Amino acid sequence: MRQAGRYLPEYREIRKTCPDFLSFCYNPEKAVAVTMQPISRFDMDAAVIFSDILVIPDAIGVEVCFVAGEGPKLQAIEDAGTLQKLSSEKLTPVYTIIRQVRELLSPEKAVIGFAGAPWTLACYMIDGEGGGEFPKTRDMAKSDPSRMAGIVAHLEEAITTHLIAQAGAGADVLQLFDSWAGLVPKEARDALVYEPAKRIIAAVKQKFPALPIIGFPRNLMDGYAAYVEKTGVDGLSLGTEVTLAEVAREISPDCVLQGNLDPILLASDAEAALKETTGILRAMQGRRFIFNLGHGILPHTTPAHVQKISEMIRQWQP
Ligand code: CP3
């Protein structure tokens, strides 16, 4: 999950040498090194490529910068008219990183590529910053659906291109992050969440039929089952807002669940995190399942806690 690196001293060491976050993302040598760090340290089963969902706005002509302590700032857009076609040239480093990581990793480990979903990218681009409320975006979704549809359609095309290129470069799995799906007005879920995801997934699968795709429609609550049915995802990643067991009841066993240890617990209380992890493993017994955090790991997390949890999962027997 996002910010995977910041709790690792070896990440901070490399990060220091590259004050501008986006140029860090576009630096193959450094990005490959930090992608490999959790594998070297913990022997994780998959490497999440070091990048960010905001490389797409950057590659369609929207100014993006990361301000220390304030999060991302973007040039706020008002409609699709100012957006450019995705510059694959700009994103070439991402594909180089994937290629190199795939070469470095042993064959039984997976490379996970990713992109933000249209709505979540629209949130950052329309409001121009993070913060979690995105009032301008929500207002546009309600008051000017056709303008919103134009932005989402443009993003959909860019995301599809970016995901197909990542698969072509060697990504084994792709994840679509719709971190702010829970903010979509209910009546607009089809237009802004389900339909775009369905078309993106279908387009990727047309080129790479066997490639698994995981969705992360965070905070969608009563919409998870519909998300799985309507979009055709192979996996559903869940945040800390729900328990896996309750969602599992409404989701087909063909869909792999992923999640959802609370990163706050992991950072603050190793014992409680171990207990919670046992609960998750028990609840997911007999299901196809990927253990993960419910959201981004917190910078003040002790690496030893991660080590402990990983070992416990490896040794766990029902
Ligand atoms: O797991 C990983 O770290 C892999 C790479 C990854 C990053 N971002 C690197 C990153 C992934 C998968 C993301 C996804 C991402 N980025 C999402 C979707 C997942 C989610 O968290 O819901 C979102 C919403 C973003 C946008 C973003 N990027 C935010 C809001 C921030 C925080 C800015 C801040 O100052 O706290 C980032 C920065 C970011 N992305 C960091 C990393 C490692 C931290 C940058 C640093 O080192 O200072």
Q: Is residue 252 part of a domain?
A: no
Distance 114 CA to ligand 1 centre (A): 12
Annotated catalytic residue 6? yes
| Positive or negative: CA dihedral 40, 42, 45, 47 | negative
Q: Is residue 281 part of a domain?
A: no
The catalytic position among 7, 11, 26, 52 is 52
How many beta carbons lie within 10 A of that of residue 43, not counting itself?
12
* Ligand 1 binding pocket, CB closer than 6 Å: 1-6, 15, 21, 48, 50-54, 66, 71-72, 114, 130, 177, 179, 295-296
Q: Is residue 314 part of a domain?
A: no
Q: Which two tokens stand for residue 135?
A: 């009032």
Q: Print pLDDT tens along the chain (318 aa).
A: 656 689 999 999 999 999 899 999 999 999 999 999 999 999 999 999 999 999 999 999 999 999 888 899 999 999 999 999 999 999 999 999 999 999 999 999 999 999 999 999 999 999 999 989 999 999 999 999 999 999 999 999 999 999 999 999 999 999 999 999 999 999 999 999 999 999 999 999 999 999 999 999 999 999 999 999 999 999 999 999 999 999 999 999 999 999 999 999 999 999 999 999 999 999 999 999 999 999 999 999 999 999 999 999 999 988
Q: What's the distance, Cα to Cα, between the start and end of the chain in Å?
A: 27
Count of domains for the chain: 1
Q: Which atom of ligand 1 is nearest to the CA of 6?
A: 47
Q: Which two tokens stand for residue 304?
A: 């030893």
Q: Is residue 223 part of a domain?
A: yes
Annotated catalytic residue 124? yes
Q: Is residue 287 part of a domain?
A: no
Q: Is residue 122 part of a domain?
A: yes
What pTM did the predictor assign? Answer: 0.97
Q: Which atom of ligand 1 is nearest to the CA of 52?
A: 8
Q: Is residue 188 part of a domain?
A: yes
Query: Which helix (H) or strand (E) covers residue 89, if one does?
Result: helix 88-104
